[in-house]
Amino acid sequence: MDRESEAAGILSAVPCFSGLEAEVLRAVAGVAVRRRYDAGEMVLLEGEPAGGLYAVEEGWLKATKSDREGREQVIRFVGPGESFNDVSVFADSPNLGTVVALEPTAVWMVPREELLRLLERHGALARAVVVSLAERATYLLSLVEDLSLRSVEARLARFLVEGAAGDGLSRRRWTTQAQIAARLGTVPDVLNRALRGLVEEGLISVDRHQIRVHDLPELRARALMDP
């Protein structure tokens, strides 16, 4: 398979480009460049000019905001089939957050200029982008709601409920308590307390590689609990 078909395959899985006719998809794929990053490598730095939109082929990354003391809020974890930096590109703004690879990662970068040109030409692309941006905004709204209206315990419960495939959250190597804490808008110590609280109540059990959910209904209830 040639490079362009490969790119088209990856990109077609991304919501942003889903449902496009083959022709448009190839046009996008034609200008995309593949890049690899190792764990810990920085892909984007907040404030730098936006180079383009990224689609993840393989591996996981985190998109973050941080203050200058170095405390960071993870906006979201980004995995295969997802895109990032789309907001920066379409809002015509510098990178709105920092993105760091959490494991060895392969991404396709669609340069900003070309993407905007394609957006002009193809209405179908524009419509797909509308939907994916609206969904991004929906997600951000739920993050605001979480941070402002819910306790750390409730946020943790929600995180577990959403991430729980089957009976628990199988943790990848990078899913450390520090990362989860940053995602929930708190610090590792506090997260640890919350985790152990839930463990003592028998709702979950925690081991190094996995968090098992024992009482999903009750966990759901906690997730809706207000501070």
Partner DNA sequence: GGGGAAACTCGACAAAAGTCATGGAACGGC
Partner DNA sequence: GCCGTTCCATGACTTTTGTCGAGTTTCCCC
For DNA, the binding residues (CB under 7 A) are: 71, 151-153, 173, 176-178, 185-190, 192-193, 195-196, 206, 208-209, 227
Instruction: Determine if 177 is a binding residue for a copy of itself (CB under 8 A).
Output: no
| Cα angle value 177/182/183 (rounded, 5°) | 100
Instruction: Determine if 90 is a binding residue for a copy of itself (CB under 8 A).
Output: yes
Q: Give the one entry of DNA, a copy of itself, none that residue 96 binds, where binding means its C-beta sits below a cut-off of 5 to 8 angstroms depending on kind.
A: a copy of itself
Q: Give the one entry of a copy of itself, DNA, none that residue 92 binds, where binding means its C-beta sits below a cut-off of 5 to 8 angstroms depending on kind.
A: a copy of itself
Instruction: Determine if 75 is a binding residue for a copy of itself (CB under 8 A).
Output: yes
Is the separation of the CB atoms in 51 and 111 below 8 Å?
yes
Q: Using CB under 8 A, which residues numbered 120 to 149 contact a copy of itself?
A: 120, 122-123, 126-127, 129-131, 133-138, 140-141, 143-145, 147-149
Q: Give the one entry of DNA, a copy of itself, none that residue 151 binds, where binding means its C-beta sits below a cut-off of 5 to 8 angstroms depending on kind.
A: DNA
Instruction: Determine if 214 is a binding residue for a copy of itself (CB under 8 A).
Output: no
Q: How far is CA 206 from the centre of its chain?
A: 23
| Cα angle value 66/137/109 (rounded, 5°) | 70
- Residue 147: left (phi > 0), alpha (psi -120 to 50), or beta? alpha
Q: How far is CA 165 from CA 42, 76, 97, 160, 168, in A?
A: 29, 18, 28, 9, 6
User: In angstroms, how far apart are the furthest CA atoms of the chain?
Assistant: 58
Sites of contact with a copy of itself (CB under 8 A): 65-69, 71, 73, 75, 86-87, 89-93, 96-97, 119-120, 122-123, 126-127, 129-131, 133-138, 140-141, 143-145, 147-150, 185, 226
